[in-house]
Amino acid sequence: MSAINRYAQQLPAHVLSNKRVGQYHQILVSVGEVVKHCRPGNFIAISVGGDNSSMILRRAFAISRVSDRGEYGGTIELIVAPHGSGSRWLCAQGEGAVLDVVTPLGAAFGIPTEPVNTLLIGGGYGSAPLFGLAEVLKERGCRVDMILGASSSPKIYAPLEGKRSVNSLKIYTEDATSGIHGRVTDSLAEIISNDSIDVIYSCGPMAMLSAISTIAGALGVVHQCAVEESMACGIGVCMTCVLPVLEDDGSISMKRSCIDGPVMDGARVAWHLVGKVNEVKE
């Protein structure tokens, strides 16, 4: 495996609980000692469908938070939206089910060495990894503000938990069913300036990440984003999750989201070329 995945292990993970939270499932699995190597931004690859399933590829899920305390030892929490066949199968697994998993995978968020002002922005259930990140940042002495957004109120994941986890929370919905009417980027430039934001961390749809990068770049603010690209192998072999990234010499190269990401420097991603592989020249 890549050096970025040097702590990754394939192991059986027992489902400890599976709770419905709004439109999503909060799934807690036991993974033992490997949890000590999990960092905010890492992901887990799960074999779905059972032994006789035609779904031969693993599914990648962002790790929401981890714990090495309590009666179950090392645990990983996942927030899953039952959209595709793989995620629906996972959401149907009850307490006691055993999953075939590989974790921790991918590049994690960079954590400041000194206290800074941070802004966490999540779209839909993409906000899940931000809760564990918020805990780590607060332990480092950072101020942590959060913005959550979605098309409608039911798609905002755990807003009350978000409010407890950070210094301040703003919620945006496009249909005005909760919080502020609009998108997370509508007042972003003003929030960055007023709160003296040093670093933005984001998870969510690619269009949202692109828009945040534009605003952050214009204001000279660091933007670390966890990209949402479909990952087949999760270990850098299949090349299905590549993204166009700007190199130091101005050229564009295709980087693998699973090992060069999923956390990337938003200023480096060539957002205008995402999804247009044929237009990229090495």
For 17-52, give the DSSP string: EEEEETTEEEEEEE-GGGGGG--TT-EEEE--S-TT
Domain assignment present for 111: no
Are residues 253 and 126 both part of a single domain? yes
Are residues 124 and 244 both part of a single domain? yes
Are residues 265 and 175 both part of a single domain? yes
Using the predicted structure, report yes or no on whether residue 209 has a pLDDT greater than 60: yes
CB crowding 74-97: b at 16 or more within 10 Å, else e: bbbbbbbbbeeebbebbbebeeee
Token representation of residue 207: 């269009």
Domain assignment present for 112: no
pLDDT in tens, 222-274: 999 999 887 877 788 888 889 999 999 989 999 999 999 999 999 999 999 98
pLDDT in tens, 19-76: 998 889 999 999 999 999 999 999 999 999 988 788 888 999 999 999 987 777 899 9
The pLDDT score that the predictor gives to residue 18 is 97
**pLDDT, greater one: 12 or 228:** 12
Determine the Cα–Cα distance for residues 273 and 161; give it in Å rounded to an integer.
36
The pLDDT score that the predictor gives to residue 53 is 83
Are residues 189 and 218 both part of a single domain? yes
Are residues 170 and 65 both part of a single domain? no
Token representation of residue 15: 């489902």
Q: Is the pTM of this model over 0.85?
A: yes
Q: pLDDT band for position 83 (50/70/90)? A: confident
Domain assignment present for 101: yes
Burial of residue 135 (number of CB atoms within 10 Å: 0-12, 13-18, 19+): middle
**Which domain does 78 fall in, by range?**
3-105
Are residues 141 and 218 both part of a single domain? yes
Domain assignment present for 110: no
